[in-house]
Amino acid sequence: MFGDYQPNRFGPSRSPIICKNGAVATSQPLAAQAGLKILQEGGNAVDSAVATAAVLNVVEPMSTGIGGDAFALVYMQTENKLVGLNASGRSAYAADPELLRHQGLTTIPAYHDLRACNVPGAFDGWTQLIERYGSMSMSEVLQPAIDYAENGFPVSPQIGKSWSKSVRMLSYCENARQTYLINGRSPKIGEVFQIKPLARTLQLLAEGGRRAFYEGEIAQQIVQYSNRNNGWLSMKDFQDHTSEWVEPICTNYGGYQVYELPPNGQGIAALIALNIMRQFEQDQVPFDSPDRFHLMIEAMKLGLVDLHQHVTDPTFSDIPVSQLLSLSYAKEQAKRINMRYSLPSVDLTQLTVGYDTVYLSVVDGNRNVVSFINSLFHQFGSYLVAGNTGILLQNRGAGFSLDCDHVNYLAPHKRTLHTIIPGMMMKDGMPVMPFGVMGGPMQPQGHLQLISNLVDYNMDIQSALDAPRFQVMLDGKIAVEDSFRLEVLKALESKNHQLLLGSDTFFGGGQAILVDPENDTLVAGSDPRRDGCAVGY
């Protein structure tokens, strides 16, 4: 199963981690090690996932945190079923799209504007995970993050580089400047950085749990800050917030069941594209065949168009999920693909872009499995920190549309279309692989390419993550990584694809752990495009 090991197939890389008792894969080594330590101390996969996410909040603060949202797919052996958790926050009850339109705005300002700040859903999600499935207390799983925030952590290379690009934007908010800059500069790579206000907040949550965040001091500070700065958030918004346990959606691909969370997430776009791919005979097609990439690009375009047209908060709109995932629909969509020419350029510009997210996979010794994702949306979210909480507030509300005819139109107490999506592969009712590829609109595209690499070409996990990627951009152009062969690029251009060669486009960061029942082992991989790693024991 996914065992065609060819080390360094796509250039110098690392080998997958093969272990037996537990594995963690994520985008920052200190976080991965913290999650592994929880497993070694007797915690289960859920305990480890929350601990890892909490450490990521500290060591990769531009990408994630308790000021953002989270989603998870969880398989616990005691329940013998896959469940999904939607921990995304809603807009404020006071949200007023007509006010914004009256002010001449066509989009919601993403930065330094509290009207882009939905209620943070992540910590409620962490709490529900621990209460339902955890074997440790919230205090225990938050302790590694508290230690790093209080005593400091060395800034890793890609995180330091990303941080340095945000100095000007962080400087506009006094609380953000004092918390996340050092005398007006970003921390250097390798420099030890402390986030003491965040350490204090995490300690409050360790002691007071959910109530401390949504009913107590933390919510009060955020609401007071919002009131002073023309925001919409109220205490009622926080008190009424709750995460939702949901039934995952899936499709079959190559004998495996690929699961995503249902809307308001964009995972459905990956499943639509996989269904379209199934309609084409791909036996004997080489991995780097121009026809293969052309087919994936076209299938992804169609999936993204459906995403743009249909997906929002399902409590506000009847989303035809069953129809979109039906094989009859896939067959009709497949007829639109011409293998000689690309589809007319698609315009997806109303889909807002935010690439800053963390994804993690965890499997424990009992083969409990967690696929987990947490995000602030854009880098450092809104660039706003409320009071002395140290919490960066997400700007997920910028994802709403101000077009009153659009399905994702802003409304009070509504969840917007969400980019962050955890994935899970299963076979015969058992988990095969938690996986994810963080990176805004790259996420469903990364899921598609990773699954195809594994199922269609039997690649090992690390090679499947290393493989060169494309990305359908929101203007319809196709960004490609430098590692594509020149012959492939020329062939794609001959099919009328507008390519962005050697661009600065971010092609995501993937993590995955294979549960190998034949050898009773775990095989874990981590994307070389990020600072992170897979660890196990």
What amino acid positions are annotated as catalytic residues? 357
- Residue 33: name the closest of 520, 370, 362, 433 by CA: 362
Asked if residues 464 and 452 have their Cβ atoms less than 8 Å apart, the reply is no
Please give the Cα distance from 510 to 421 (Å, whole number): 12
Q: Which residues of 221-234 are buried (b: 16+ CB within 10 A; e: fewer)?
A: bbbebbeeeebbbb
Six token digits for residue 24: 């963690």
| DSSP code, position 345 | P
Please give the Cα distance from 53 to 49 (Å, whole number): 6
Helix then strand then coil, % of the chain, to nearest 5: 35, 20, 45
Residue 426: count of CB within 10 angstroms of its CB: 20
- Residue 241: name the closest of 250, 233, 230, 232 by CA: 233
- In the block, residue with structure tokens 């661009």: 503
| Distance (Å) of CA 425 to CA 46, 256, 521 | 18, 7, 16
Please give the Cα distance from 86 to 122 (Å, whole number): 9
